[in-house]
Amino acid sequence: MPRPRCGAASRCGVAPSSGRYGYALRGRAVPRSALPCTPKTAHSTPSNCRIQVNGVKDGTLDPTANSAGTRNGFFSFSAFTYRASSGWRLIPFLVAALVLIPVGTVMSSLFAPTGDVWQHLVETTLSDLLINTFWLALGVSAGATLLGVSLAWFTAVCEFPGRKFFSWALFLPLAIPAYVTAFVALGLFDYIGPVQTALRAWLKSDLSWFPDVRSRLGVIIVMVLAFYPYVYLLARNAFITQGKRSLEAAQSLGFSRTQGFFKLTLPMARPWIAGGTMLALMETLADFGTVAVFNYDTFTTAIYKAWFAMFSLPAASQLASLLIVIVFAIIILEQHFRSRMRYAETRQSARADRIPISGWRAWMIAGFASGTLFFAFLLPVMQLSIWATHVFARDFDQRYLEFLWHSVLLSVFATALTCTVALLMVYAARRHSDPATRAAVHISTVGYALPGAVLAVGVFIPIAWLDNWLGEIAMQLFHIETGLLIQGTLATMLLAYMTRFLAVSHSPIDSAMQRITSSIDEAAVGLGSSGWATLRCVHLPILKSGIFTAATLVFVDVMKEMPITLMTRPFGWDTLAVRIFEMTSEGEWEQAALPAVALVLAGLLPLIFFVRQTER
Amino acid sequence: MNPLLELRDIRHAYGTQTVVNNLSLKLEKGAIGCLLGPSGCGKTTVLRCIAGFEPVSAGEISVNGAVMSNAGFCLPPERRHIGMVFQDYALFPHLTVQANIGFGLHRMQKAERAARVGEMLKTVGLAEVPDKYPHQLSGGQQQRVALARALAPRPDLLLLDEPFSNLDVTLRGRLSLEVRDILKNQNATAILVTHDQDEAFAIADEIGVMHQGEIQQWDVAYNLYHRPANRFVANFIGQGVFLPGKILDSQHVEIELGTLAGDLPHQCTPDCQLCREGNAVDVLIRPDDIVHDDDSPLRAAVVHKAFRGADIMYTLRLPGGGIALSLVPSHHNHAIGEKIGIRLETDHVVAFRQSAP
């Protein structure tokens, strides 16, 4: 029986397919079903799981074949996995537990409020927090939806000068963490900032009419500029993939194109638009850095303060439990829209001809797009570069390199861990697609909706408890003072990262895996390829791009993550994000610029792949 | 009476590639026409020109005498009052069945609209699923919704673009007869585009066979099969082979299997060059022209056989080396290689000038 060798990819019989990179950006996995054209092949386990035993030829044992097989590394993977399958089965459940334990921990404090802590919260901060959160959520979701949908419509449906450029350039703000945009905005437009100073000098006025940047509206505007790309991405996808067929159908039923847009295009895109809005909303609720810079108290900052200023873990977890309730409501809404998306998927048909727009209208649109791009991307980048060059000579030193090193090291560890777990989970789900496993996978990927501050609390409490328990046991059994074993180590941090970013890596790897249908496996086996050879020659080339995308996204997300890093880092482990937090809380905008530049550069990485893939 | 739809010498080109060339056709009110042809012959483009989704670069399209399109003019689709059933149905996924059907009735009063929707639901047999969404329906049901949606505003003309191509074969046959009944009941005028001749035969009153952007023959199904206008139509419609023959006189032609009698060709004119005695021609022999007869002295060897239930399609090698098809009742079961008796049984002749070697 000829066995395929894994030499050149072409000899494997499967050309490495062009990657469908996952659609996950900035910590939020955009649901695969958000994309109307994603293949949805059920990945069922091949029912006729073939156990191939090398060396058995035509029913008789052939020792030469056996030795040749093992020499080439082709021993039976199928047999191996078959036996090990009970172990595979547990992986999704273990990971689901990792999500459920923090959530359960935090939630338990909701149902068991400790009287005085609760009393204190209600009396002092709670109403402010709720009001602040409400207005922020409302403002950001409304603003991001308006901005995202209108830009998506212009770039997807209309033709105006610069459309091609804006189509991808409008994704660029995703590269800048919201807290960076925030401190740049403050640095620029604050009373002592260059803009107001220049205006005062020029107008010879005290500028009392100038709106206060450090206000509710200021936070909302900054977050809208940072989060509109989520809506833009999904709405644009919906508009583009709707194709021209449905619009033609509307025309043949007596509607003009413009009527068709409002009567058909917009309602058909509603689940996508709502999905994008929900993503923006989750980001808003999870945000810590931006509101911290603006001193705008929300749940995340309150949790942080309760822990680090008041040293009250019960208060922190009480607040976290409230936030989690709000987030769950959003998740449920998001899942609802996601399922609607699945049903509202349209078959891909020819792309509609764009509506040509000319004259002053075209320039208005171009101006609108440029304005958005300027404030959301160009201005922050320019200001950062100016500040960074100012302080470069002074700040680019051993300490800066240490922040960078910590960030990179942490990101690498977290990426390796997260991607490995995601890969194992995808394989496990592929082998066992029973409802329980699917539910476990589903739960595991919900971690992405949990705000970092909540996760930090939820991970810290059980680990502290475990530490105490281990310490007691060690004391009783061996009379050893163990101190803190896990608490305050990198392990805590990595666990929290993994819980939060698993979805980010799961989504692209899972999409890649969807392309490996069970018939591909069977074809490989049928062609005489053994398990390992199939894995190396067939699976790996197909999964490669998905794994790569996953790794890039997680890497960048971990680098940017602020609250988890702040709240669970081992003593002395300062990263770029931590440095930015420290500098901005002292109003040292210039000094925050240099680490921010590194984050923006890292953030551009996945964006380049993403843009290249969507605009191909 | 003016025809409801008239296409006069229309031309359509994508860039430099001419897709439809000098195409003309007329359709009376209440008739069902069909454009039949292999994929890429331009039939869907003709349909899209009629609907107004594509402009014409020459010629004229008119409905009820009103110009829809000509070289410099294209009435927008929404003002043509022409309904369309798309190949992929293009149902609106976010709307229920009744909302889909009622979509085009936006100028009606609410009550009137509900009544029309109810009527259409009953017509297409979906009265029990008005509140389902398209994804909850089977392919056949989706097709009916698409038909009902297009018919609801009572269009002057209905266009159907390969309406059954997404359905499985058994459903296709049943639904095409059903669709014909619905169209006739509604007294709709319709044009169907398809590559499936069975479908065309089942639905259409008149069929135009298209090839390379032109209509080769516009006729009823019977004539397309029995009196094809040219070789392409003869080849495309039904099965059959060409056997070489020689003209005896304007009524007779001789082939290996015997002498055939009939007008030759059927549109023969007095100065026809083809009918001259002694001319070499290709004669179309359909599988039903050759009858199995054990007593016949004429023998042919079975080369291939395809069992089709009621009958068997034999591929035969004639004594002279030519190949012919014969449709034989299936209890006449012969083995490959066996020689069976055959007899020619025709009542007309289809012959074309022998193609240049």
Distance between B90 CA and the closest CA of chain A, angstroms: 5
Whether B307 shows a pLDDT value over 80: the answer reads: yes
Residues A383 and A525 grouped into a single domain: no
- ∠ CA A77-A83-A86, rounded to 5°: 120
Q: Are residues A447 and A470 in the same domain?
A: yes
Question: A552 and A417, same structural domain?
Answer: yes
Rounded Cα–Cα distance for residues A263 and B100 (Å): 12
A132 inside domain: no
CATH code, domain carrying A400 = 1.10.3720.10
Phi-psi category of A71—alpha, beta or left, where left has phi over 0 and alpha has psi -120 to 50? alpha
Across the interface, of A254, A340, A349, the residue whose CB is closest to B78 is A254
Number of domains forming the structure of chain A: 3
- The mean of the pLDDT values for chain B is 88
Tokens of B133: 């969404």
Q: What pLDDT is recorded for position A32? A: 39
**Spatial separation of the C-alpha atoms in residues A250 and A253, rounded to whole Å:** 5
- Minimal CA separation from A168 to chain B, in Å: 28
Q: Is A336 at the interface with chain B, CB within 8 A?
A: no
Write out the residue range of the structural domain in which residue A18 sits.
Answer: 9-77
Closest CA to A265 of A211, A184, A346: A346
Q: What does the alpha-carbon distance between residue A297 and residue A436 come to, in Å, rounded to a whole number?
A: 40
What was the pLDDT predicted at A114? 66
Q: Which residues contact B90 (CB under 8 A, 6 or more apart)?
A: A245, A246, A248, A249, A349, B146
Chain-chain contact of A268 with B94 (C-beta, under 8 angstroms): yes
Q: How large is the angle between the packed helices A435-444 and A490-514, nearest 10 degrees?
A: 130
Predicted local distance difference test score (pLDDT) of residue B63: 94
CA dihedral B276, B282, B285, B290 (to 10 degrees): 80
The pLDDT value recorded for residue B7 is: 93
Place of tokens 């977050």: A223
A188 & A257 share domain: yes
Q: Within an 8 Å CB–CB cutoff, is residue A249 touching chain B?
A: yes
Query: What are the start-end ranges of the E strands in A216-373?
Result: 355-356
In a domain, A160, yes or no: yes
Angstrom CA distances, A277 to A176, A204, A232, A325, A336, stand at 19, 43, 9, 18, 13
A264 touches B at CB < 8 Å = yes
Q: Do A344 and B76 touch (CB under 8 A)?
A: no
In chain B, residues under CATH classification 3.40.50.300 are: 5-232
Is A330 within a domain? no
Q: What's the pLDDT at A69?
A: 36
- Both A385 and A510 in one domain: the answer is no
A327 lies in a domain?
no
Partner-chain residue, chosen from A255, A268, A344, that has the shortest CB–CB distance to B78: A255
Query: What would you report as the CA-atom Rg of chain A, rounded to the nearest whole angstrom?
Result: 27
Closest-CA distance, B92 to chain A, in angstroms, reads 7
Residue ranges in chain A modelled with pLDDT below 50: 1-84
pLDDT of residue A482: 66
- Beta-carbon separation of A349 and B77 below 8 A: no
**Can you give the pTM of this predicted structure?**
0.75
pLDDT digit string, tens, across residues B96-143: 999 999 999 988 899 999 999 999 999 888 999 999 988 889 988 999
Q: What share of chain A is helix, strand, coil (3-state, %, to 5)?
A: 75, 0, 25
A270: contact with B, CB 8 A cutoff: yes
- The three-class DSSP label of residue B245 is strand
| Statement to judge: residues A51 and A99 lie in one domain | no
CATH 2.40.50.140 location in chain B: 240-353
Q: Residue A504: how many CB atoms within 10 A of its CB?
A: 32
Query: Each residue of A245-293: pLDDT tens digit?
Result: 888 889 999 898 878 888 888 888 888 888 889 889 988 999 999 999 9
In CATH, what number is assigned to the domain containing residue A261?
1.10.3720
Query: Alpha-carbon distance A75 to A68, whole Å?
Result: 10
Mark yes or no for CB contact A254/B81 under 8 Å.
yes
Which helix H or strand E contains B40, and what residues bound it?
none
Q: B204 vs chain A: nearest CA distance in angstroms?
A: 22
Q: Helix, strand or coil for residue A165?
A: helix
State whether residue A284 is helix, strand or coil.
Answer: helix
Across the range B244-248, mean pLDDT stands at 85
Please measure the distance between the N-terminal and C-terminal CA atoms of chain B and give it in whole angstroms: 47
Task: Give the C-alpha separation, A88 to A430, whole Å.
Answer: 10
Question: Residue A110 falls within a domain, yes or no?
Answer: no
| Interatomic CA distance for residues A582 and A597, integer angstroms | 16
* Nearest chain B Cα distance for residue A46, angstroms: 27
State the greatest distance between any 2 C-alpha atoms of chain A, in Å, as a whole number. 99
Distance between CA atoms of B233 and B231, rounded to whole angstroms? 5
* Cα atoms found within 13 Å of the Cα of residue B79, Cβ hemisphere only: 9
Strand runs labelled E in A390-471: none
Class of CATH domain B240-353: mainly beta
Q: Is residue A218 part of a domain?
A: yes
In a shared domain, residues A416 and A549:
yes
Q: Do residue A436 and residue A546 come from a single domain?
A: yes
Shortest Cα distance from A499 to chain B (angstroms)? 35
Residues from chain A contacting residue B51 (CB–CB below 8 Å): 248, 252
Report pLDDT for A5: 43
Tell me if A337 is assigned to some domain.
no
A129 in a domain, yes or no? Answer: no
Q: Are residues A410 and A516 in the same domain?
A: yes
Q: Are B339 and B326 in contact (CB under 8 A)?
A: no
Contact B2, B58 (CB under 8 A): no
Closest CA to B22 of B49, B72, B69, B59: B59
Summarize pLDDT for A529-576 with one digit per residue, the tens.
777 788 888 888 888 888 988 888 889 889 889 999 988 888 888 899
**Which residues does chain A have within 8 Å of residue B78's beta carbon, measured at their own beta carbons?**
250-256, 259
Tokens of B128: 């029990």
Angle value at C-alpha B56, between B52 and B60, nearest 5 degrees: 90
pLDDT at A538: 84
CATH code of the region B5-232: 3.40.50.300
Of A353, A381, A35, the residue nearest A177 (C-alpha): A381
Residue B145 has pLDDT above 50, yes or no: yes
Nearest CA in chain B to A253: B104
Same structural domain, A371 and A435? no
Pair (A219, A244) in one structural domain = yes
Are B189 and B27 in contact by the 8 Å Cβ rule? The answer is yes
Predicted confidence at residue A269, as pLDDT, reads 86
Q: Could you tell me if A64 lies within 8 Å of chain B, comparing CB atoms?
A: no
What is the reported pLDDT for A33? Answer: 38
Q: Which residues of A touch B153 (CB under 8 A)?
A: 253-254
Residue B335 is given by DSSP the state: -
Closest partner residue to A346 among B51, B78, B93, by Cβ?
B93
Q: Is A268 at the interface with chain B, CB within 8 A?
A: yes
Among chain B, residues having any CB pair with chain A shorter than 8 Å are: 51-53, 76-79, 81-84, 86, 88, 90, 92-94, 103-104, 106-107, 133, 135, 149-150, 153, 159
A40 and A161 share one domain: no
CA distance B241 to chain A (A): 39
pLDDT value of position B9: 93
Two structure tokens written together for B195? 């590559």
Strand partners, A56: A61
Q: Classify strands B299-307 and B290-292 as parallel, antiparallel or unpaired.
A: unpaired
Predicted local distance difference test score (pLDDT) of residue B8: 92
- Name chain A contacts of B93, Cβ cutoff 8 Å: 268, 343-346
DSSP line for A15-75: PPPPP----EETTEEPPGGGSTT------PPPSS-----TTEETTEE-HHHHHHHHHTT--
Mean pLDDT to the nearest integer, B137-150: 92
Q: Which of A19-33, A72-86, B58-72, B215-229 shows the lowest per-residue confidence on average (mean pLDDT)?
A: A19-33
Q: Do A256 and B76 touch (CB under 8 A)?
A: yes
Nearest CB partner across the interface for B92, out of A246, A345, A349: A246
